[in-house]
Structure 1
Amino acid sequence: MTYLLDALQILTGYVVPFLLVLTLLVFVHEMGHYLVGRWSGIRILAFSIGFGPELVGWTDRHGTRWKLAAIPLGGYVKFYGDEDAASVPDYKRLEALAPEERSQTFLGAKLWKRAATVAAGPIANFILAIAIFAVLFSVYGRQVADPVVARVNENSAAAQAGVVPGDRLISIDGTPVVTFDDVRRYVSVRPEMPISIRIERNGAMLDLSMVPQRTELTDQFGNKMEIGVIGILTDQEAGNFRTVNYGPIEAVGQGVLQSWHVVTGTFDYLSNVVTGRMKADQIGGPIRVAKVSGQMATLGIPFLLNIAAILSVSIGLLNLMPVPVLDGGHLMFYAVEALRGRPVGPAAQDVAYRIGFAMVLMLMVFATWNDISMFFG
């Protein structure tokens, strides 16, 4: 009975939230491809959520097979003339088609229509993230605090630089600081990197230099991560904690800004991994996404929606990587085609797709290893 209850808890606490979030993100991504492809006059054979054997599905009046497949870890839109779900062209079949039929294939569409169709998937993910953030900010508001120091930790980077309680942070490396969260976001991805902070003290402006210290933090769920910290805190009296409510237009603007923060934070983290300033252990796969989704679900719908928005931006960015088999790889080929005036040859594309698939597979193995290490390390 205990094992049954544990299995039920895992199912309801982790698997269900994970599948709900992933299905939403995949559906929106593929719907972007589908809608622009249809608008471009490209015939669409299948719209699938998941891979592998079909569990349930139907065929619409346009001949598109809509289906839910057995392996719910992605999805695809298959266009007429494609060899597989990765939109690799079936050149032999294309050569045998009549001109009228060829015009309905993906490869037979004009270059800009192909590019628009491919780019529509990641763009749809960005739009979804902005919409989710906008709804959260308009319905629940946003918790903010002024960037005023209430306490400075002993022997911290801020203490060594001369920061004292009551100082107001004005800018970091020339970037204006509006809220205390702006400070945390900027500093956290810059461990052991010199930064310059302008503060206001008793009406006077001071410029201080410091180096954020690399620190391992543990969140309320026991997840560990390394970030940069300078050792300052605020409180209700100094920071004036409050909830800011936004109207619909302002909320959309804040949604764009929040999505941009996710983009820049991702690139900052990856650059730190490449330069060795941060570990690559935060790169995770489906297991980590399931765990985080379940954890956020225990905190309530707003937290689950927030992680869904962050993941939507991440999926959009991942698919824009210039790696063959990903959307960014296809766009790279189209850029070359635009410059050369003719497509990249089938043989070269085949080699590139094989290399791209190997790269994606290695990334998946690495991410899964991180996921396993997270549980058993």
Structure 2
Amino acid sequence: MFVHSESESVPHTLEGEVYDSRWKGREAGLKDGFDEGYLRGRAKAIMEAPHTSFPIRPLNVLYVSSGKGFPYSPIDEAIIATLHTLATGVSVAEPGQPVSELAVNVSADLVLVLDGMELPVEEVDAIRAKGIRTAIWLTDDPYYTDMTVRTAPHYDYVFTLERNCLDFYRSAGCANVHYLPFAAYVQHYRPTLTRSPVRREISFIGSAYWNRVQFLQPIIGGLIDKGLMINGIWWDRLPEYASYPDRIEIGKWMGPGETAEVYSGSKIVLNLHRSPHDASVNNNTIGLTAASPNPRTFEISACATLQIADVRDDLSNFYTPGQEIVTFSSPNELLEKVNYYLTHETERREIALRALERTYREHTYSHRLHEMLSRIFG
């Protein structure tokens, strides 16, 4: 007597549902693979396309690092490496060294200082007394202007990453003040060209300044439900932190390589600027406001991922909202845009790729340092 096997005894309707589910799963997997491959392939083409080349100037530049270590050291590395492509001679010093003597020894045409908090102004004055040009690139404007206003006037050239600080330094007696935001160092921040080992829906990497905690708190549950993961210090300030121990990693500084891997492996990366009015961490008693994008803006864009950032007045001069970046001005607007772009793959991908292209076209350290040298030497 013929007996049906167990699989043959499954009702036809259930067989159809199983088949339909498997087919839909296969279709989704194929689409995900195509979307991922398309994104990585387009990103690779953008990165490998010919880009603006800048002249190598016959200059000896002595670069003085911040002396603060991480997280400033990756910026030091980016500037030093880029200077080697723009000047015939590049030497490096630490703030604790006899910088004025070193400047003479290397026949420096320019001494470029990052941050300058650790370098005694007497050293700067001694360099200028020898007829050597000096420049400072300020890293944290306007957050510590109580201190930078005392050091900046000792330099021939002052470069600030905050547009709203230009008149402030001019009024303090600085003769040559220029607006020069940071950029993306594309050797650090770049998309992975194969599927990233990190797979996230939404990421935020940064410290829990109070304005960020207060902004995110009303929508944190909704963002977590959509897949948000946070890395950074102080996030135990968030009252809901204990409810999401597997989604919020605290007490860890992520280096550029690991950060770029997370950016590249995330569908959306959030960028929420710190407040210039937080007296608990800032030294900005004059109350200067901030209009300019933070360095993270360029670094996220260099990783070919969709960036959703809070509005700053000068942001649109670097990336076009709705085309190369997405902006928000309230918690509910942020949540709405997260929901939208998580379900609109093509729009999300095209914005991310346009941001990558704009970054390579205008916002690398080569662009910034070429501009700096042009301002100083013509």
- TM-score of the pair, normalised by structure 2: 0.28
Higher fraction of helix = 1
- TM-score of the pair, normalised by structure 1: 0.28
